[in-house]
A = this chain, B = another copy of it.
Amino acid sequence: MSPSSLESLVEALRCLPGVGPKSAQRMAYYLLQRDREGAAQLAASLVTALSALRHCQRCNTLTEADVCERCASPRRDASLLCVVETPVDMNMMEQTLAYSGLYYVLMGRLSPLDGIGPRELALERVVARASGGEVREVILATNFTNEGEATAHYLSEHLSARGVRVTRIARGVPVGGELEYVDSGTLAQAFRERRSLA
């Protein structure tokens, strides 16, 4: 008995991670009843972001240009390449002020159960980038979860096979923890204590 445009909205809200049928319904009524302006703004932001954002050709993060500001900056040390899982992790790293090299953002992690393997993450791009000659050291800063560790292990093997120097940020990050929830001091320490893998 619900109007179809309401049902469609509830269904569409379920594309958001962590939003089930009950909360989608609550969100729909909330938006329509209490924040129509916010809802219109959200629709507009989605459209703009979808059309404006693409992946940086160098580091793979989301950007509005072909190459993001960070990759285009002449002040970054191009001989260091830090590999992170997400743009959020990259921002966390930047906030430590302990690093001035470049990044590669995987936009995920190896997760065989979810069908995400080396091909889905295009890990060959990381290897190609790292063995192009300019990079002196690859710092693996994936999470210390099982999946993050597996991703680091995979990259370490393939990079060292190509003669690339590979380090891993120190396990100052709590085991099983995620970078996003660690304070800057701990992360800075982890950077300083990075250890050689290959």
Interface residues of A (CB under 8 A from B): 1-6, 8-9, 11-13, 15-18, 22-23, 25-33, 35-36, 38-50, 52-53, 62-64, 68-70, 86-88, 91, 94, 107-108, 180
Contact = CB atoms under 8 A, between A and B. Distances in A.
Contacts of A22: 180
A167 to B, nearest CB: 24
Contact of A49 (B28, B44, B52): B28
Nearest to A46: B43
Secondary structure at the A interface, as helix, strand, loop or mixed, is helix
**What are the 9 tightest A-B residue pairs by CB atom distance, in nearest-first order?**
A15-B38, A12-B45, A43-B46, A5-B52, A9-B49, A12-B42, A9-B45, A3-B64, A43-B43
A96 to B, nearest CB: 14
From A5, A8, A63, A88, name the one whose CB has the most chain B CB atoms within 10 angstroms: A5
Given A29-B87, A180-B22, A5 B49 contact: yes
B43 A6 contact: no
